[in-house]
Amino acid sequence: MKEQKIKRVLILGIDALEYDLVEQWNLQNLKQKEYGKIQLPLQPGQEPATVIIWPCFITGKEPEEMGYSTVHVFSKPLQFLINILSPALRKIFVDEEAENRTEKKQGKQSMLDKMAEIVKKFGLSHSPTRKDIHAQSLFDNKQIQSIHLHIPVYDEDGFPEYRSEIAKVIGEKAYQPILELAQKKEFRQRTREVFKYLKKDNWQLLMQYFYVLDGVQHIYYNNPKKIAEFYLMFDEFVKKVSKELGPQTLLLIVSDHGQKKGIHTPYGFYSMNKKMNLNNPKIIDFKHEIENILTK
């Protein structure tokens, strides 16, 4: 039977969804008909940064073309110096995100965070915002009727409030249940939003972003049982979503990186409910693929 033309695309952006864990636990709903690893736009030795990679995904551009390539956006003279100075400086400002640490890294990271904050106080840097994205995104394409929910950097509400507390809680077991409640609340709220919009016909492209797995894997980096609990929550969610989709809707699940033992892995994950025969895709390839599907 000939497969029907795709008229809608639903994207579930799941931060830190790890390919190897999906395979290890054989999560069939997350795998779908086609799945694999994604190449990320990384410089040598650079660890994946959420605030860089998601904007690259929605624009289909490498960081420099997208607008910025560091987790802090610096004034132009300082940005030039940061780009040419020693690897030690790049380690401070580029390669590490504040929440990305294990107990052993906390002391070092705390110092790096303080240095970054000092620079910010002088007005020489800021956290990236939509204004720093200089390339057209999927949601700026006037040929596509789209809805975007909580996309990092592109939307102001991309990250839940508890994200800023992640680093403080790592290793502090007394506070872990409090953040776990916040993480489950985020999951429930954002899954409800997906089901709400699935009932509407005012979109061709819908993207929902989930931060929760990133935070869970940082906090419980040495507790695979707790991490598995959240992976199974997502697997069951995808199962329910899939039942609501018609044959003309493409479901794309994508992550900006994976995560093992609290450290970001240098590849992402993707899966689709239709065979597209993508061969070792880059995360910047998906924008072009989606636009081809929805505008041809």
Judge contact between 252 and 270, C-beta under 8 A. Answer: yes
Q: In this structure, is residue 116 part of a structural domain?
A: no
Contacts of 225 (CB under 8 A, 6+ apart): none
Percent of the chain past pLDDT 90, that is, above it, reads 69
- Whether the pLDDT of residue 117 is over 80: the answer is no
Residue 257 lies in a domain: yes
Residue 152 within a domain: yes
Distance CA 111, CA 90 (A): 14
Name the strand (E) or helix (H) holding 249.
Answer: strand 249-254
CB 63 within 8 A of CB 56: yes
Identify whether the C-beta of residue 194 lies closer than 8 Å to the C-beta of residue 241: yes
Q: What pLDDT digit, counting tens, does each position of 17-37 carry? A: 999 999 999 999 999 999 999
Domain assignment of residue 198, given as a range: 8-47+136-295
Helix, coil or strand: residue 124: coil
Position 127 in a domain: no
What CATH number corresponds to the domain at position 196? 3.40.720.10
**What is the C-alpha to C-alpha distance for residues 218 and 263, in angstroms, rounded to an integer?**
8
Residue 89 has pLDDT above 90, yes or no: no
In a domain, 249, yes or no: yes
Residue type, 137: S
The amino acid occupying position 262 is G
The answer to whether residue 115 sits within a structural domain is no
Are 64 and 135 within 8 A, CB to CB?
Answer: no
Q: Could you give the number of structural domains in the chain?
A: 1
pLDDT of residue 195: 98
Distance, CA of 163 to CA of 151 (rounded, Å): 14
Confidence of residue 47 (pLDDT cuts 50, 70, 90): confident
Average pLDDT over residues 60-72: 90
**pTM score, two decimals?**
0.89
DSSP letter assigned to residue 133: -
The reply to whether 270 falls in a domain is yes
Least confident of 1-10, 60-69, 98-107, 145-154: 98-107
What letter does residue 282 receive in the DSSP assignment?
Answer: B
